[in-house]
Amino acid sequence: SKGRALASATGRLRVEGVTLDDGTRLDADCVLVSGGWTPTIHLFGQAKGKLAWSEARAAFLPGNPVDGISVAGAAAGAVSLSDVFASAEKAGASLGQTKAAIPRSTGPEATAGIVAAWPVPGSKGRIWIDYQNDVTVKDVELAARENFVSVEHLKRYTTLGMATDQGKTSNLPGLALMAGITGRTVPEVGTTTYRPPFTPVPLASFAGARAGELMAPVRRLPLENVHRASGAVFQEYGGWLRPAHYGGRNADAERAIQDEAFRARQSVALFDGSTLGKIEVIGPRAAEFVDFLYYNTMSTLKPGRCRYGFMLSENGVVFDDGVLVRLDEHRFVVSCSSSHVAAVHARLEEWRQDRFGRGAVYIHNATSEMATLTVSGPNARKLLETVGLGLSLADADLPHMAIGHGSYAGDAVRIARVSFTGDRSYEVSIRADRAEPLWAHLRQAGQAFDAVLIGLEALMILRAEKGFIVIGKDTDGTTLPHDLGVAGPRAKRQSEFVGRRSLFTEEASRPDRMQLVGLAVPRDEAALATGAHGIERRGSKLRSIGFVTSSYQSPTLGQPIALGLIERGAARHGETIEIQHLGKLRTATIVAPCAYDPSGDRLNA
């Protein structure tokens, strides 16, 4: 049936057959539709280039030249290989390029062989033109009768070309139909204005969270299978699938978590911290850039050293916390919290584009390229020394908040002496695809030190014992840095940084702001409920003065520990307040956030 045209399709709810223009009926279950052969000329059109109609191609092609833009290849209407080469030579010459040897085609030349088959006015039945917006021939004919013959009016009256494909399959047949109805040519009807984006938003994006992993892919650790083989029970944390604890699904989860946290304080713990952000900031103005992004002054950091700091939103609220590493004069690594990597990366790019250029600052997110294996505990240094990483781990050479560079099995490793547990800790970063042998070596060597694998739940207990916060858990959408006891930069910094002005508003200076505190209860009582409210009595009424943000049973201290945000908390240490949860009242004493080793001796800081 080559050379014939489809007259109609038959079937109810699905295609069962087609009828050709000569009356022949064919069985079919699918009909493929072409909107014509149209070059991708959107960028040319968006640059205010005028289009020219080509009868030979039955398409619009780039017309008048535009300064700084030359079109070659299929976009210029070239079909055969020889035409493509010739158009490339012409385009290069228009941009001032010297004439070079042009390749020649030695094979068979392609021909377009285009025959226009536009919709015919007055056709019977439903003949669709725009298959997404259900625009038919009759809709275009109605537009002409209503005098909407301008191409811009036609588009808006019928919604022709306004679906997610932006007219890629429907515009030209619709224009040709209007030309036939009004007795004009296609170029006389004209085209609508090409507007970005060329690629529209996919329909799947509008499905939102219902698309599951297609919308929000689960991020996985490089060593996920290794952890599973070790009995890890996985849960999702901040979009990452990470070990919650080890021991298998049949184990008593609470007991396993308590055991991991207790053993981590006794000897040495191994933890996979690969999810930590590793965003490199590079360039001659990198130091100025990180100063602007951080609440703390970072440009005074010496190469080879680390510094803990906050990033603030423009409203002054703590956005993220983490360690900034300075590799050399013009290169930093932003080690942001795991759940905020994408947001911090986007934030860095936003401010780079706003105030800095690529020539001044370049940003590279290397989070997925590197695995970070954490060794923490009193015997952490001894364990690492048995592995042999090619550098001195002596405190004089690698003190707390310093970095060192070594190697393992020929691969470069970066070792950061930072801690989220409060014990001596080392974060060893290596290429993600080379992490498994190092992890296996650490586990094998760790047997001599009674090393324990810990999941995120045990880590949360260890950090809470030290009063270390988790942004979004121990803070809310109103928490400012001085609410967390970090008021120095607010009082002393003179240079501009994101959120600075918001720290001096009337709201930010209120004396009754909620501040980070510890909450202690008797040893023989159960841990406070996370989310429980501190209350204040005013006659017969109760008023919330804050809430519990984190609460755990500490196996090392043998008692419950908790963190909270309480009104005027910093000035109320030693005061006993009432805590209400689900209608039940308890009492707790406001204390300093750090419940374990407040002098920092175990950290060797």
* pTM across the whole model: 0.69
Of 62-66, 232-236, 529-533, the poorest mean pLDDT is in 62-66
Average pLDDT, integer, range 225-240: 94
Alpha-carbon distance of 263 to 260, in angstroms, equals 5
Strands 269-272 and 452-453: parallel
Superfamily of chain region 510-591: Aminomethyltransferase beta-barrel domains (2.40.30.110)
pLDDT, tens digit (0-9, with 9 covering 90-100), for 21-57: 888 999 999 988 776 778 888 888 888 888 899 888 8
pLDDT of residue 351: 94
Token pair for 555: 């196996």
pLDDT of residue 250: 87
pLDDT of residue 265: 97
Contacts of 164 (CB under 8 A, 6+ apart): 132, 200, 201, 202, 203
pLDDT of residue 111: 76
Share of the chain above pLDDT 70, in %: 96
Quick count: other Cβ atoms within 10 Å of Cβ 233?
Answer: 20
Q: What residues does 15 pair with on adjacent strands?
A: none
pLDDT of residue 65: 83
Confidence band of 101 (pLDDT split at 50, 70, 90): low
Burial class (CB in 10 A: 0-12, 13-18, 19+), 40: exposed
Average pLDDT, integer, range 542-551: 96
Asked if pLDDT for residue 596 goes beyond 80, the answer is yes
Confidence band of 211 (pLDDT split at 50, 70, 90): low
CATH 2.40.30.110 domain extents, the chain: 510-591
Alpha-carbon distance of 508 to 501, in angstroms, equals 10
Token pair for 246: 């080890």
Q: Return the amino acid letter for 327.
A: L
Average pLDDT, integer, range 229-234: 96
Of 104-108, 348-352, 540-544, the poorest mean pLDDT is in 104-108
Would you give the distance in Å from CA 437 to the centre of its chain?
A: 29
Query: Coil, strand or helix: which one is 177?
Result: helix
One DSSP character per residue, 426-486 reads EEEEEEGGGHHHHHHHHHHHHGGGT-EE--HHHHHHHHHHTT---TTTS--TT--GGGGT-
Average pLDDT, integer, range 499-527: 96
Alpha-carbon distance of 27 to 45, in angstroms, equals 42
Helix (H) or strand (E) holding 328: strand 318-328
Token pair for 28: 């079919």
97 half-sphere exposure, CB direction, 13 A CA radius: 15
Average pLDDT, integer, range 111-125: 82
Average pLDDT, integer, range 92-120: 76
pLDDT of residue 39: 86
pLDDT of residue 76: 87
Of 148-162, 205-219, 284-298, 531-545, the poorest mean pLDDT is in 205-219
Which residue blocks in 230-360 are alpha helix, DSSP H?
253-266, 286-293, 341-355
pLDDT of residue 81: 87
Alpha-carbon distance of 135 to 122, in angstroms, equals 15
Under 8 Å between Cβ of 306 and 324: yes
Contacts of 312 (CB under 8 A, 6+ apart): 295, 318, 319, 480, 481, 497, 498, 499, 502, 503
pLDDT of residue 37: 79
